Structure formats: structure tokens, C-alpha cells
Chains A and B, each alone.
Chain A
Amino acid sequence: MELTGAQILLECLKREGVDVLFGFPGGAVIDIYDELPNHPLKHVLVRHEQGAIHAADGYARATGKAGVCLVTSGPGATNTVTGIATAYMDSIPVVIFTGQVPTPLIGNDAFQEVDIVGITRPCTKHNYLVKDVRDLAMTIRRAFYLARSGRPGPVLVDLPKDVQQAVTEFVYPNDEQIRMRSYNPTVKPNKRQLKKVVDLVRQAEKPVIYAGGGVISAEASEDLTWLAKRLNIPVTATLMGLGCFPADDPLWLGMLGMHGTYAANRAIQDSDLIMAVGARFDDRVTGKIAEFAPKAKLVHVDIDPTSIQKNVTVDVPIVAECGQALKGLRELVEKEGESLNNDEARIGWAKQTVDWELEHPLRYAPAKAGEPIKPQFVVEKIYELTKGEAIITTEVGQNQMWAAQFYGFTKPRTFITSGGLGTMGYGFPAAIGAQMAFPDKLVIDVAGDGSIQMNIQELATAVCHNLPVKIVILNNGYLGMVRQWQELFYERNYCATCMDAQPDFVRLAESYGAAGYRVEREEDVEVVLKEAFAVDKPAIVDVRVSKEENVYPMVPAGKSLTEMLLV
């Protein structure tokens, strides 16, 4: 069957199981758009290419499938770079197709030409420029294979216009053909190493599991939860790992790190064994590295060998997919019988962590009568109203930390946030992606007034595609997290963090055809949220919150986890 490059692309997408494409057309991809109506793919027309890549990323995080976006050459391609870096830092499988000027013009500074393969080399798992239509199908197959396998990540395929137009015999490569001898991620754990872990667990009196996003991407939550409960080991997680262990379980310590709970950080610092699974010892987690977990032996499970021994010295490294490693551990533990968890010291340890939770729970000073609404109260209300069943996305900053702290995530893939890169403007387009994947679920973007303005234009996308995403703006009139740092560490020099000129978010929402609400009193929060969640279209809820509320606990950057500022 002879097909054009554009037809081959769409045919390959179909066979890869892609059902949604987030994109924005342009001259260099017009041939693909010309073919699009002949295919069953849903296309979501965004209003800015950054929206397309974040939406594809949100779709991927919500479903576990690869997200796909299609943009034109030059500015279309460069507009995706922030989103590509976001997906790269958080290991999210996304395949990005960019248009490119015709091959004879490449390198001539042609109209809308940019070396996007060069630009994105440091922030993609891999990327390709397809110069011959005969290589196209193989390249697309490999792009999806690379994006999904091993440590997942974004893969970019640059498609010159003449390659899209050229015709060739279409042969869809099989699984064997796409394998590369230079790419063989280690998926299975070393059994001897697993046995060492079991031995360490047997000896440990104060073990802690420290879980990260790798547990979620490997669909390994169930095994992790089983092991923690069976072995009676308290669990903490990174921002990316939230939802991998139920927050309503007594063994749950809360998030660790800079804005982690007192109990989690104390437990880490006091523990004698840390089992890190699918986490990478980010500086936001470890605090001052030299003083991180001084008494603990470290086990580190990660599919990416470069993550192991990068920041901390590990006693038992296990290079493997988290799911496989946890399954392997589970089998060993099942064989061991009762000998692993009935030690008195361990029971005392679990009790100790609960005492720490009671001693310093996550808390805030509730608003007194007439005082502005507390942002934490709003997040708690969202949790209460949704019973933890919603998909929560966030922007970046205080809103993100409050969502992480005060919404009890009990299931994986229900918390979607930009962890590694900290991308403001991420949450709303990501919510669009998640809502495309799950039209019947409640999807809520917990936003700040600063972040939401970075991709607010996607309201048109949400309205146009009838995606009832809810945006709850915790509006404090500041770039809150920077303001918090200025307050605590820069003598209240609030330079350039006050957002004094703001749009009327209610009228802004309405002008796009969405619903808009404003809340100024605590007693109205519940009613308005209920109404916004019930309305069958996108909605903005502009909640005016206390202006100088801070996120606590806080470990100042570069300090050790024991040096927490509490409320």
C-alpha cells in the first residue's frame, strides 16, 4: 500500500493506539492536517503550543499511555520546549511531532526554520529528524517504544514538509524490527540484591519506605502498599509519588522534603533503613545532603542507573523497573513468613511516627470571623466534597504545595503536577489532557493567580471541546512562593511579586463561555465549590485568600531536614 508521509504518520498513530492528538496547525504540518479528517483520531486544537504539550503530558500522567502532540516548525516547535523539559524532568512518555521546512531548505534559515532537534537534545530522551519517507514508519515506532519503555520520557520526531508529501510503500515494522542493540534498559532486578534488601529489613528497627513517581509510572502502587503493610514500614513519598500509597492509612507519613511533614522528615532523619523506590533524591527532598538520613542504610530501586549513587551513597543499588523489583521483593517476603515484621522495636517505631504526626500535624491557623479565607481550608474543602475521587492538577508554587499537603491522595494518577521542572502554567492544560482521557471524572486545577495567567488562553480549548475542567484559583495577589522566600530570607523585600493588576477572573471566564465565580467569605466556599463542580462546563472559582499565608513546614534551601520551620 503506497501512502504519503502524512498518511503514514496517522496510520502509525492509529496502530500505536493513540486516540487523542493535541496540536496546533501551521504551514509545515498542513499536509498532516489535510489528512486528519480521514482518521478516527480526536484532535484537540489548543490556543498555544505550550498548551498542547502540557495537555499531552497531563493525558499521559492520567492514563499511563503515551501523550501525543503535533505542532508546526519554528515558533510552533520552540513553544513546546518548556513542556518537553517538564515531561523530561518527570519521566513522562510523550511523543512530539514537529513540522520542519522541506529538506532542501534545512540549514538555509528558511521561513519558520529552527533546529528543533538541536534545541531539544538535552531535554528529550531521544529525538529524530526524518530525512527520508522510507524511514518514517520505523522512526515513529521507535519513538513510541523509547518514550514508553525503560525510564519513560519525551521523544521528538521532526518531520520535513517534503517527507510528509513523499510517497512510499507503507510497511509497519514489527516489535523485533524496532529493537536497538544500543538500547536495552535493565528491567528485571538482581535476585541477590533483593535478598540483601530482605536481610536489611530483618535487621532494621526503624525502616522507612521513600517512594517516588517511578512507583506510579510502573503501576507498582499495589505491591508497594502490600509490602509496607505486611512489613509494618511507614511510608513517605515525594511530590511525584503522592497517591502511590493511600493517605488514609496509618503507616502514611505524608510527603517528605522542603514542604514535607514533620513526621516524614523526622522519620527519615531517625531511620536506620531507607528503601527508596522510583525516587531520585532531589535536593528538594534531601535538604542538606551531607546531613540526610545520617543513621540509615540506603536501598535504592530505580530503572535508571544514572539516578543511583548520583546524589547519595547507596548500600544496596537495584537497577530495575520498580514494579518488577517490588514484585520480586513481595515473593521473597511471602516466603519468609512471619519472621519479618513482628519485632517489638518495629512496632515501637511505627508508634513513634504516629506520635510525631500527632505532635506536629499539618496545620494552619483557621481564619477568625471576618478574616480572609485560608487557602488550606479551600483545599481541605475540595477534598471533602470530592471524597478524594477527583483528579487534581496544580500549577506551581504555594498552590501546588497546599494541594500536596491538604488533599489526601489515595490512588495513583490522581495528582498531576510539574515536579522536577516546576513549570508555572502547567496545571490547566494538563487538566485538559486528563479530562480528555476521563470525560466523566471531576478534574480540578488548583491554581495560583500568578500561574494561571501563564496559560489562561486554554480556556477557549476547554470550552470548545466541552471539557468541564474546574480551576480553583487560590488568589492571594502575589507570586506567593517567591513572596514567602522574600519574607523569610530577603527581609520582606517584595520585589516584583505583587500581582497588582489582575483580570476580573469571573468576567474572563464568562467571556470565554466558561462559568466564573468569586468567593470572598469562608462560609461561601463550600456552596460555590459545589455549584462550580456541578456545572456542566469549564469553571473558574476565584477564591480570595489570605495574602500573606505561608506554606509550612518549611526546610530552608540548603538546610538539613531537621531544621524545619513549623507553623
Chain B
Amino acid sequence: MEARRHVLSVTVENEPGVLSRVAGLFSGRGFNIESLNVGPTLEKGVSQMTITTTGDDFIIEQIVKQLRKLVMTIKVKDLTEVKSVEREMVLIKVNAEDSRRAEILRIVDIFRCKVVDVSQEELTIEVTGDQGKIKAIINMLQRFGIKDIARTGTVAMKRSMQD
């Protein structure tokens, strides 16, 4: 069986320790976490986690079941199985000496990102997009010298219209 990247959306009761319980489940059972993102939902006391992980079908089935087994878990959805929207936000601080600044700004434009901080030597760029876009822009900016990077990890949601 082939290992694939999966995006899991996990709804949990927002009790103390719930994050460490989820993270501990992954580390304790030798599962891989690529990113883990938590935030409140519209409902008070309920949080939404987006977890990206890799594994073959067998491992993903175990991960989903083990997550469901946690007493505080309300719902687990594997968004890989349905059409979904995925986004990550990344802040990239890149070298930007005068001679190359215009080129960088062109890339920012093409990728529809935003410059959120500027100095004589550097630009800080905010980019939001799916994995492909993030990978592409990091690739493009690498040759200028990326000095720092901060990523939120993926958040995801099922699309409204499903066939």
C-alpha cells in the first residue's frame, strides 16, 4: 500500500489537555504529523483541528479510529476522501537588495501575495494558498536567499458543492 498525504479535520471538546492528548496519540503510536492546526469554532467550547499526516490506507484507518476513540473527540473527517479547500499561510522574509527588489515584487504580484514588512535589505511576504502554491513560491524565492520562514500549517474545509 502506498503512503499518501491525508488531511484530517477533527472536531474536539475544548478541554484542557486535548491538544497534548491528540499530539501524544500520534507520537505514542509512531504516527507522523506533518502539521497540526487548532482554532475555535463558532460553537463555544468546541475546537477544530486540521491535521496533515502521511500513511498508507491501513495506517490512516488506524489514525482515524484512534482519534475517534479519544473521549473528547466529537468528529473526525478525512478530507482527502472528499473535495475540499486547503489553505496555509506563510510569512517569508527574503533578501531584497535594491537591484533584485523589482524582480521579487513581480513574483509577489504573480502569486498574488502581499508585502507586509519592508527594510533596506529585506522584504517580508505574506502568502496564502494550497500546498502547490506555497511550494512554488518558496522555490521561486529561494534564489534570493530566504532568511526566515513561519508557516501556520494547513487548514482545510470540505467544499460545499459535492458531486
Contact = CB atoms under 8 A, between A and B. Distances in A.
Nearest to A310: B62
The 5 closest A-B pairs by CB, nearest first: A126-B71, A306-B65, A182-B74, A122-B28, A183-B71
A309 B58 CA distance: 8
B72 interface: yes
Given A182-B12, A305-B69, 17 more contacts: A118-B17, A118-B20, A121-B17, A121-B24, A122-B24, A126-B71, A126-B72, A129-B17, A180-B71, A181-B74, A182-B13, A304-B69, A305-B68, A306-B62, A306-B65, A306-B66, A309-B58
A182 B72 CA distance: 6
A148 interface: no
Interface size class of chain B, counting residues whose CB lies under 8 Å from the partner chain: 10 to 19
Interface of B: 12-13, 16-17, 20-21, 24, 28, 58, 61-62, 65-66, 68-69, 71-74
A310 B69 CA distance: 14
Interface in A178-194: 180-183
22 contacts: A121-B17, A121-B20, A121-B21, A121-B24, A122-B24, A122-B28, A125-B71, A126-B71, A146-B71, A180-B71, A181-B74, A182-B13, A182-B71, A182-B74, A183-B71, A305-B65, A306-B62, A306-B65, A306-B69, A309-B58, A309-B62, A310-B62
A117 B62 contact: no
Interface of A: 117-118, 121-122, 125-127, 129, 146, 180-183, 304-306, 309-310
Contacts of B73: 182
B78 to A, nearest CB: 15
A117 B17 contact: yes
A126 B17 CA distance: 11
B142 to A, nearest CB: 40
Contacts of B24: 121-122
Contacts of A310: 62
A523 B77 CA distance: 66
B76 to A, nearest CB: 11
Contacts of A304: 69
Contacts of B68: 305
Contacts of B74: 181-182
A182 B68 CA distance: 9
Contact of B61 (A118, A125, A309): A309
A182 B24 CA distance: 19
A118 B17 CA distance: 8
Contacts of A146: 71
Contacts of A117: 17
Q: Which of A118, A122, A146, A182 has the most CB of B within 10 A?
A: A182
A310 B66 CA distance: 10
B144 to A, nearest CB: 44
Given A121-B24, A309-B61, A129 B72 contact: no
Contacts of B61: 309
A126 B12 CA distance: 14
B33 to A, nearest CB: 16
A379 B96 CA distance: 82
B73 to A, nearest CB: 6
A304 B62 CA distance: 12
B50 to A, nearest CB: 18
Nearest to B63: A306
Contacts of B69: 304-306
B58 to A, nearest CB: 8
B4 to A, nearest CB: 18
A146 B72 CA distance: 12
Contacts of A183: 71
A182 B69 CA distance: 9
Nearest to A304: B69
